[in-house]
C-alpha cells in the first residue's frame, strides 16, 4: 500500500437511534397495527465525511456525547451505519472497551483464540504471538481458568495484551489506557508508543490536548455528531479548549466561526502572522509549518477553573483574587515558556495572627510537586505583625521554565510558633494554568533545565 493511499474513507455516514421513554413504548410501537411511532430519533452521527491516509495519526476530540465512540465503532465494524459508505483497507484492532469480546465461560487461553478469530486471525496467527500475549498479560496459571473468575484488573490485562500483541494495519484507541499497577501501566503505554513509532495508521481519542498535540499528525473536533474542525493538532485543540470552557450561549457563535475556518475564508485568530488556507478543501490546511500554530502570547480562557480545590483554615482569614498575570498586569491562564508572569492574591485578616510566612507551589495533574517556595523561608517569618483588619497583597514573580502541560497552584500561610510554625491557611489547587506548546517534542519531564551541549 502506498504511503499516501487512503485506508479509511467515510462518505455521508450517519447513525440514527430510536429513543423510547420506557420499555412499554418500545413494545407498543412493535405491536401497533398501524405502525404508530412512539420513539424520538437521535443522530449520534450526522453525515460524516472523513478520509484518513496510511500512516496518519488522527486525534479526535469532542465533548461527551459528540459521537466519538460511535464513529470509532462504525470504523471498527462493530456497529453498522444507518446510511452512508464506509471503506476500510486493512485489518483493524479496536481498543475501545477492555474485556469486550470475551466469553466469560471460556478460559483465558480459549478467549485469546476466540477474540483473535473475531478479528479475522487464524489459529496459526495466534500461535505465533501466544507467548508474547502471555508474557505481557502476567496472569500466570490463571490463563487456564474461566474469565468469569478473573478480577477486573486481570481481565483488563489479558484484553490489552491480546489487542496490542497482534500486528494491525489500523489501531483504534479510545482514551489513554490505564490498567494494572504502575509498572504494568508503563509497559502498556510503551507498547502504544511502539505503534506510533512504527508508522501505523492510528485513530486516537483523548480529552487531553497535550496527548493529541504530542502524538498526532492531524486532529478533528466533533460536536453533536458532526466534524466541526479538521486540521493541525495544536490549532484544533486550542479552539476545542476555548469552546468547552466558554459559556454555552457563546458556543453557537464559535461553531459558525469554525465553519468559516474549515472552508478557508478566515485566518486563525491565534496564528503567528498571516496564513493562507486551501480554499479547495473542506479541511483546514495551512501553507505554513504546523508548529507556527502555537500561540506566541499568553491568553485567558473563561471557566478554566480547578474542580479539585480544597481549602483548610485554622484562623479567621480569607484569600481572594488569586490570578496569574502577564507583564502588562492582564489576567492569563494559558501561558508560554521563557516569559515572566506574576501570581497575585489578597489576604484579609479578621483576627490577630502575628508574624507569618507564605508558601506557593505548583503540582501536575497527577499531584506531583513541581516546585515549592516559602517567604521569607521555611523557618523565618515576616517582620510585620498581622492584626485584625489588615490586608496583605502578594505578588510572586516567576519565569516560566515549565514543559507544556497543566499545572495547579497551591498556597500555604503559616503563623509563627513552635516546630516551624502553625499552618493557618492551606489552599490546594486554588488556581490552575496551562503552559502552551508541544509536550515531548524535544523535551520531557516538568521543566526546561536549559541544557547546552558541547561535543568534542
Count of C-beta atoms within a 10 Å radius of residue 318: 12
CA distance 345 to 327: 16
pLDDT (tens place) for every residue of the chain, 456 residues total: 566 789 999 999 999 988 888 888 888 888 888 888 877 888 999 999 999 999 898 999 998 889 998 999 999 888 999 999 999 998 888 877 666 678 889 999 999 999 888 878 889 999 999 999 999 888 899 999 999 998 877 887 888 888 888 878 898 887 655 555 556 766 776 777 777 778 789 898 887 776 787 778 899 999 999 999 999 988 898 889 888 888 878 888 888 888 777 543 333 333 333 332 232 333 332 222 333 333 347 889 888 888 888 899 999 999 999 999 999 999 999 999 889 999 999 999 999 999 999 999 999 876 778 999 999 988 899 999 999 999 999 999 999 999 988 899 999 999 998 878 899 999 999 999 999 876 555 677 788 888 888 999
Return left, alpha or beta for 303; rule: phi > 0 is left, psi -120 to 50 is alpha, else beta. left
The topology under which CATH files domain 310-435 is Coagulation Factor XIII; Chain A, domain 1 (2.70.50)
Residue with cell 486554588: 430
Model-level pTM?
A: 0.61
Question: What residue spans in the chain does CATH classification 2.70.50.60 cover?
Answer: 310-435
What's the CATH number of domain 6-90+169-215, 3.40.50.1980, 3.10.20.30, 3.40.50.300, 3.30.930.10? 3.40.50.300
CA distance 336 to 382: 32
Sheet strands side by side (includes 331-332): 331-332, 317-325, 340-349, 391-399
3-class secondary-structure state, position 257: helix
Contacts of the segment 119-126: beta carbons below 8 A, 24+ positions apart: 119/91, 119/92, 119/93, 119/166, 120/91, 121/166, 125/166
Question: What residue spans in the chain does CATH classification 3.40.50.300 cover?
Answer: 6-90+169-215
Amino acid at each position: 500500500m502506498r504511503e499516501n493511499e487512503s485506508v479509511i474513507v467515510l462518505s455521508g455516514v450517519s447513525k440514527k437511534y430510536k429513543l423510547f421513554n420506557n420499555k412499554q413504548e418500545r413494545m407498543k410501537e412493535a405491536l401497533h397495527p398501524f405502525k404508530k411511532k412512539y420513539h424520538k430519533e437521535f443522530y449520534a452521527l450526522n453525515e460524516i465525511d472523513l478520509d484518513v491516509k496510511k500512516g496518519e495519526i488522527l486525534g479526535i476530540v469532542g465533548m461527551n456525547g459528540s459521537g466519538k465512540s460511535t464513529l470509532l465503532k462504525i470504523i471498527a465494524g462493530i456497529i453498522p451505519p444507518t446510511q452512508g459508505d464506509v471503506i476500510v483497507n486493512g485489518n483493524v484492532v479496536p481498543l475501545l472497551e477492555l474485556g469486550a469480546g470475551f466469553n466469560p465461560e471460556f478460559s483465558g487461553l480459549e478467549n485469546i483464540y476466540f477474540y483473535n478469530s473475531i478479528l479475522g486471525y487464524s489459529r496459526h496467527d495466534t500461535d505465533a504471538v501466544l507467548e508474547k500475549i502471555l508474557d505481557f498479560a502476567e496472569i500466570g496459571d490463571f490463563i487456564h481458568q474461566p474469565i468469569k473468575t478473573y478480577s477486573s484488573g486481570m481481565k483488563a490485562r489479558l484484553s490489552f495484551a491480546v489487542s496490542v500483541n497482534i500486528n494491525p494495519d489500523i489501531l483504534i484507541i479510545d482514551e489513554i489506557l490505564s490498567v494494572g499497577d504502575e509498572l504494568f501501566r508503563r509497559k502498556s503505554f510503551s507498547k502504544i508508543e511502539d505503534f506510533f513509532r512504527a508508522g501505523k495508521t492510528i485513530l486516537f481519542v483523548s480529552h487531553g490536548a497535550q496527548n493529541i498535540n504530542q502524538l498526532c499528525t492531524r486532529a478533528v473536533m466533533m460536536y453533536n455528531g458532526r466534524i466541526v474542525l479538521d486540521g493541525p493538532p495544536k490549532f484544533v485543540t486550542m479552539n476545542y479548549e476555548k469552546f468547552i470552557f466558554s459559556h454555552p450561549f457563546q458556543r453557537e457563535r464559535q461553531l459558525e466561526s469554525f465553519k468559516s475556518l474549515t472552508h478557508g475564508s478566515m485566518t486563525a485568530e491565534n496564528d503567528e502572522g498571516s496564513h493562507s488556507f486551501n480554499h479547495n478543501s473542506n479541511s483546514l490546511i495551512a501553507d505554513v509549518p504546523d508548529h507556527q500554530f502555537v500561540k506566541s502570547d499568553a491568553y485567558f480562557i473563561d471557566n478554566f477553573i480547578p474542580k479539585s480545590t480544597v481549602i483548610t483554615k485554622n484562623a479567621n482569614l480569607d484569600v481572594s483574587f488569586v490570578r496569574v498575570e502577564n507583564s502588562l498586569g492582564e489576567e492569563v491562564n494559558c501561558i508560554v515558556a521563557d516569559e515572566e508572569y506574576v501570581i497575585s492574591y489578597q489576604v484579609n485578616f479578621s483576627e490577630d495572627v502575628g508574624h507569618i510566612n507564605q508558601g506557593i507551589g505548583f503540582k501536575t495533574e497527577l499531584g506531583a510537586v513541581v516546585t515549592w517556595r516559602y517567604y521569607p523561608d521555611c523557618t523565618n517569618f515576616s517582620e510585620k505583625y498581622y492584626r485584625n483588619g489588615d490586608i496583605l497583597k502578594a505578588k510572586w514573580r516567576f519565569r516560566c521554565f515549565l514543559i507544556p502541560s497543566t499545572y495547579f497552584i497551591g498556597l500555604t500561610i503559616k503563623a509563627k510558633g513552635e516546630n516551624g510554625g502553625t499552618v493557618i491557611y492551606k489552599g490546594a489547587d486554588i488556581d490552575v494554568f496551562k503552559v502552551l506548546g508541544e509536550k515531548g517534542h524535544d523535551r520531557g519531564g516538568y521543566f526546561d533545565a536549559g541544557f547546552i551541549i558541547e561535543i568534542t
